[in-house]
């Protein structure tokens, strides 16, 4: 068994819990005790069987945001929630030795272990909450990270004042990240890709400045299996078509969901998965910055300070158009 601690690709390649891992002492879901026994360890994420264990967010607000949203979708008494099929089943929190973990479905369980293709798409026109946009605290660590990214970018994005102080605010950092990528223009960006051929993240590859539409389509295409990798006579176009159908279904579910209409989704991930059989799926994850809005949101209009709009549906529309182009493409590698 293998343990994986890469939090960026949190669902990337978990194949099991460490051998000899201890048993769970208690499982609490929506106020109920569950006698199930599972295995996990400290300091990382684990999979056992069909279940995925994610460390509970340390920040209180992120913990409350994620748990509340997952419970609204998975554990509420509301019947017929349209997003139920697009969010991993949530079985509550597992406690052991004072450490807490969220227990969810392993979204990779049904896919081939050998030939998994995974993409982490950050959805929406912005990845920062409105409260973060008001932060004026200078941070040297963010300046240093942007300085390293600037070297790979080959052009200057830091201001003279930031260079003089060797610091930048989190608001400035996140706004730069959004503008350098396709977030601001297309309503989503590709933050990470994992295939049998490559493992790319936003901070060690070209992804952090993949902004032009043609470049985003090329990166999205690299997510799918190549023709020579497909098994059983399948074709990568089948995976693209399956994913297109899934994304269209997701849009329909979002437009019908009262939970979606009354929540501001910031920094959420749309997890894409495919394998060499050319099956494909998509799920919404990462709700630590998802907050209830004071009034229903449209999700398909630009953000201006104060309107709380996230542009989620605009990003989904961009993704749908790109998948349509890939399905119609004449050539596949």
| Per-residue pLDDT at 23 exceeds 70 | no
Average pLDDT of the residues in 126-135 = 84
Q: Which of 68-72, 78-82, 247-251 has the lowest mean pLDDT?
A: 78-82
Could you tell me how far CA 96 lies from the centroid of its own chain?
A: 27
**Taking Cα atoms as reference points, which of 92, 99, 105 lies closest to residue 28?**
92
Q: What is the mean pLDDT of the chain?
A: 83
Maximum CA pair distance of the chain?
A: 60
| Per-residue DSSP letter, 45 | B
Summarised one tens digit per residue, pLDDT across range 293-314 is 999 999 999 999 899 999 999 9
pLDDT score, position 29: 43
3-class state of residue 61 by DSSP: helix
DSSP for 183-213, written as a single string: HHHHSEEEEEEE-SS-EEETTSSGGGG--SH
- On the question of pLDDT at 192 being above 70, the answer is yes
- Whether the CB-CB separation of 112 and 229 falls below 8 Å is answered with no
Whose tokens are 């994850």? That residue is 285
Give the closest residue to 87 by CA, choosing from 74, 76, 106: 74
Residue 177 has pLDDT above 90, yes or no: no
Paired tokens of 77: 């008494």
SS3 string, 256-277, reads HCHHHHCEECCCCEEEEEECCC
| DSSP-derived 3-state class of residue 54 | strand
Q: With bands split at pLDDT 50, 70 and 90, how would you rate the model's confidence at 77?
A: low
The confidence band for 106, taking pLDDT boundaries of 50, 70 and 90, is very high
Count of residues making up the chain: 333
Confidence band of 43 (pLDDT split at 50, 70, 90)? very low
Summarised one tens digit per residue, pLDDT across range 51-73 is 998 888 888 999 999 999 999 99
Whether pLDDT at 13 is above 60: no
Supply 86's token pair: 């697009």
CA distance 179 to 195: 26
DSSP result, 106-147: -TTTTS-STT-EEEEEEESS-SS-TTGGG---EEHHHHHHHH
Predicted confidence band at 79 (pLDDT cuts at 50, 70, 90)? low
State residue 203's pLDDT score.
74
CB 126 within 8 A of CB 267: no
Q: What is the pLDDT of residue 78?
A: 54
**Local confidence band at 201 (pLDDT 50, 70, 90 cut-offs):** confident
The Cα–Cα gap between 72 and 57 comes to 18
Cα separation values, 318 from 185, 258, 315, Å? 10, 23, 5
What pLDDT sits at residue 76?
60
Token pair 């990462």 is found at: 286
Report, as an integer, the average pLDDT of 142-153.
Answer: 87
CA dihedral 203, 44, 268, 73 (to 10 degrees): 170
Q: Residue 184 pLDDT > 70, yes or no?
A: yes
């Amino acid at each position: 068994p293998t343990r994986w601690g890469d939090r960026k690709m949190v669902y990337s390649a978990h194949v099991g819990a460490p051998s000899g891992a201890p048993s769970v002492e208690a499982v609490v879901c929506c106020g109920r005790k569950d006698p199930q026994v599972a295995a996990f360890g400290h300091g990382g994420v684990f999979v056992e069987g069909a279940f995925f264990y994610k460390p509970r967010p340390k920040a209180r607000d992120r913990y409350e945001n994620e748990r509340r949203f997952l419970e609204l979708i998975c554990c509420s008494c509301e019947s017929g929630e349209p997003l139920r099929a697009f969010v991993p089943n949530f079985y509550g929190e597992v406690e052991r030795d004072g450490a807490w973990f969220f227990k969810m479905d392993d979204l990779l369980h049904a896919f081939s272990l050998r030939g998994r293709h995974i993409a982490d798409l950050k959805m929406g026109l912005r990845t920062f909450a409105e409260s973060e946009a008001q932060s004026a605290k200078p941070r040297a660590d963010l300046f240093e990270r942007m300085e390293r990214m600037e070297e790979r970018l080959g052009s200057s994005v830091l201001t003279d004042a930031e260079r003089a102080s060797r610091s930048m605010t989190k608001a400035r950092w996140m706004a730069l990240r959004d503008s350098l990528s396709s977030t601001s223009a297309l309503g989503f960006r590709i933050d990470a890709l994992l295939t049998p051929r490559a493992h790319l993240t936003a901070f060690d590859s070209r992804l952090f400045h993949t902004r032009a539409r043609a470049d985003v389509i090329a990166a999205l295409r690299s997510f799918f299996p190549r023709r020579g990798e497909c098994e059983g006579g399948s074709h990568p176009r089948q995976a693209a078509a399956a994913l297109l159908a899934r994304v269209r279904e997701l849009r329909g579910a979002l437009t019908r969901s009262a939970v979606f209409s009354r929540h501001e989704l910031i920094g959420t991930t749309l997890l894409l998965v495919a394998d060499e059989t050319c099956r494909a799926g998509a799920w919404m994850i990462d709700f630590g910055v998802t907050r209830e809005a004071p009034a229903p949101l449209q999700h398909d209009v630009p953000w201006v300070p104060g309107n709380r709009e996230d542009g989620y549906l605009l990003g989904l529309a961009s993704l749908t158009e790109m998948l349509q182009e890939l399905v119609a493409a004449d050539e596949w590698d």
